[in-house]
Amino acid sequence: MRKTAKVSLVAGAAALVMGFAVHGAGAEAGIEARSPTFRIAWRPVSITSGASTTRCNLTLEGYVHSNTMAKTAGALIGYLVEVSVRECTGGSATVLTSTLPWHVRYEGFTGRLPTIEGVKLTFIELSLSVQPTGSLNCLVRTSSTSPLKAIFNVEASSAVTGVALEPGSTIPETGEALCAFASASFEGTGRLTTTATGSSVSITLI
């Protein structure tokens, strides 16, 4: 069963190519984005709670809210506005639509200027109800203190080769009484494309 949630927010005009450009190396540097709308698809993402793992196809769609963004850790750069969870094995997952939109925040980059190997972002307020087969139905909700961390991996040609969820990051669970003793972790590498055309995405330095 496909489960999709969506909110409508103005994202600006979409273009055929999306990109980020990091300006310089100083504290005043910033990021510039072209074609603000994007889609990230994991086929699948693994959600582990205790000894149980639920695997689902997860798609996040969103946008960056400004063409120019401060290269400052924790800066709010955009929103996730549409979420699809489907084809789960080992359990089920449901999007909590009332929590949309979710926040996208810039955290930094890997590599050494002028060569970037990855851009680090976090997803805040991401909220799913997850129930592994034969286990409790618990709420998994990210926050500024327990974010879902992702690295947008960049190859030498500037193309983004995938969006890897950072292993080892744990998110507290709530809900049924025993959920408070559990935490969830996410794992998987998704594909990043533009929403309008499905084109690949590049990240370049200028």
Q: What is the pLDDT of residues 71-86, one digit of tens each?
A: 789 999 999 999 999 9
Q: How confident is the model at residue 157 (pLDDT cuts 50, 70, 90)?
A: confident
| Average pLDDT, rounded, for the chain | 83
Alpha-carbon dihedral of residues 71, 200, 14, 142, nearest 10 degrees?
-50
pLDDT of residue 156: 84
Burial group, residue 28, by CB count within 10 angstroms (0-12, 13-18, 19+): exposed
Q: pTM of the entire structure?
A: 0.85
